[in-house]
Each structure stands twice: as structure tokens, then as C-alpha cells.
Amino acid sequence: DIVMTQSPDSLAVSLGERATINCKSSHNILYSSNNQNYLAWYQQKPGQPPKLLIYWASTRESGVPDRFSGSGSGTDFTLTITSLQAEDVAVYYCQQYYNTPYTFGQGTKLEIK
Amino acid sequence: QVQLQESGPGLVKPSETLSLTCAVSGYSISSDYFWGWIRQPPGKGLEWTASIYHSESTYYNPSLQSRVTISVDTSKNQFSLKLSSVTAADTAVYYCARHRGRTEYFDLWGRGTLVTVSS
């Protein structure tokens, strides 16, 4: 199985500041034939299902604010939230869909400082 | 508007079989999507369990493969999950979700249903 490891486990950021969450894959999830990274980011608020934010490592889902961005390639990826808003408090997960079993990171809890 | 809605018993006894259904509305389950189940134990992370495409292609997490079955009922536009020989470790919120391909992300999720395994 591909192991996804996120860092940090929790993060406290002031309103209006930048939040950065990292995700490392145990296997290269860049598919050379199409030059795509098979990585997604999800946001989960308490009592709600995960919500897709980013796919193909850097493509923002429709309706997701542009303060959310994804970057990285191969085995190292980053989710950046510029100018943190109160409604961004949530747990964030990365997920690889390069092959089955699909696997998720352990989650990063984002709070307001 | 496409929606997914999970249903099933909230309480299952140890060693019994957990059965869940996901009703799909606003979209034909026979169309070009994969349908899957992801679970989340209370306070913990996400674990993919199984996915299915057009009834004939099924994919299972090897950690559960001997106990899990996923199926589609096109007449009711729904898909189901069965997990046998459950233990307390199977207590979780079970989400159904949609993904466009075998190697694609989950773009739509149901609200989830909590299943507790307890005598």
C-alpha cells in the first residue's frame, strides 16, 4: 500500500495569515505517461463528510475559493491556504488515487490562533 | 443535483453482517462513474473499503477483502456494501462516494451513517 504522511498533525494560524500543510507519499504518484500527480486534498468540518478541494495535485474543484492552492510533484505535496478565514477551520486530508487501495493521510487539524 | 444517501442499521452485533445501501438521486448509477465506500472510525482518519463500476468490476481494500462485498442494483439506482464477521473495530461512519474512474478522486460524498458494533 502507498502510505500518505501529513505534517503537521495540527496547526494554529492567525486569521488572515497563511497555512501550509504537507503530504508525503511513500511511492511516486506522478504517472509519467500523462504527467499527472494522482493526489487530492479534502476538507472535513465537524459532523460533515469530506469535501473535495484539489485534485491532480493542483486543480481547484469548482466553487472552491482561490485562497486554496495545491502544489508539489512525485512524492511531496503541499496545500496552502492564503489569508485564513474562520470558516477554514477543519481537518484536511490528502489522498492518493494512483492505485488501489486508495489511501489517505492521517489528517491535519487546522485551528485559529 | 446529484445526491448520495446512505442507509442501514445503526447497531450491529459482533460476528454478524453489516449491510448498508447508498441511494443515488439525480444521476443514473449505470452511467460512467465508479461508486465506492469509505469509512471513518470515531475521531480517526479515512479508510477506503470498496468500489464498483457497472456491476462487473469490483475493487476491494485487501485489508477487508475476505469480508466485504459491494454490489449495484440498477433497478433501484443504488449500491450496497456488506461486511461480514464484524467486530468493534468496524465501528465507524460509513460514507458512500462517487469517483469518475478507477484512478480518480472522490468528487461527491454522502453525509455518512454511523454503524456501531456492540452486543
Q: What is the pLDDT of residues A17-57, one digit of tens each?
A: 999 999 999 999 999 999 999 999 999 999 999 999 999 99
- pLDDT for the residue numbered A2: 97
| Residue in chain B nearest A45 by alpha carbon | B111
- pLDDT for the residue numbered B102: 83
Separation between Cα atoms, residue B6 and residue B95, nearest integer Å? 7
| Cα angle for residues A47, B37, A4 (degrees, 5° grid) | 80
| Range 29-68 of B in CB contact (< 8 A) with A | 45-48, 51, 59, 61-63
Task: Compute the nearest-CA separation of B16 from chain A (Å).
Answer: 25
- A103 SS3 class: strand
| Residue in chain A nearest B94 by alpha carbon | A49
Q: Verify whether the Cβ–Cβ distance B45 to A105 is below 8 Å.
A: yes
Cβ proximity of B93 and B18 under 8 Å: no
Grid coordinates standing for B89? 473495530
Mean of per-residue pLDDT scores for chain A: 97
Low-confidence ranges of chain B (pLDDT < 50): none
What pLDDT digit, counting tens, does each position of B53-70 carry? 988 899 999 999 899 999
Which has more pLDDT, A62 or B56?
A62
- pLDDT for the residue numbered B101: 86
- pLDDT for the residue numbered A15: 98
Could you tell me which of B51, B35, B105 has the C-alpha nearest to residue A56?
B105
Give me the residue from A97, A98, A107 closest to B45, CB to CB: A107
User: Facing residues of B50 across strands?
Assistant: B37, B60
| Run of H or E residues at B80 | strand B78-83
Q: Verify whether the Cβ–Cβ distance B107 to A61 is below 8 Å.
A: yes
On whether any CB of chain B is under 8 Å from the CB of A46, the answer is: no
Q: Verify whether the Cβ–Cβ distance B105 to A95 is below 8 Å.
A: yes
Q: Which residues contact B59 (CB under 8 A, 6 or more apart)?
A: A100, B50, B51, B52, B102
- pLDDT for the residue numbered A111: 98
Task: Compute the nearest-CA separation of A67 from chain B (Å).
Answer: 20
Q: Verify whether the Cβ–Cβ distance A97 to B99 is below 8 Å.
A: yes
Q: Verify whether the Cβ–Cβ distance B109 to A49 is below 8 Å.
A: yes
| Residue in chain A nearest B60 by alpha carbon | A101
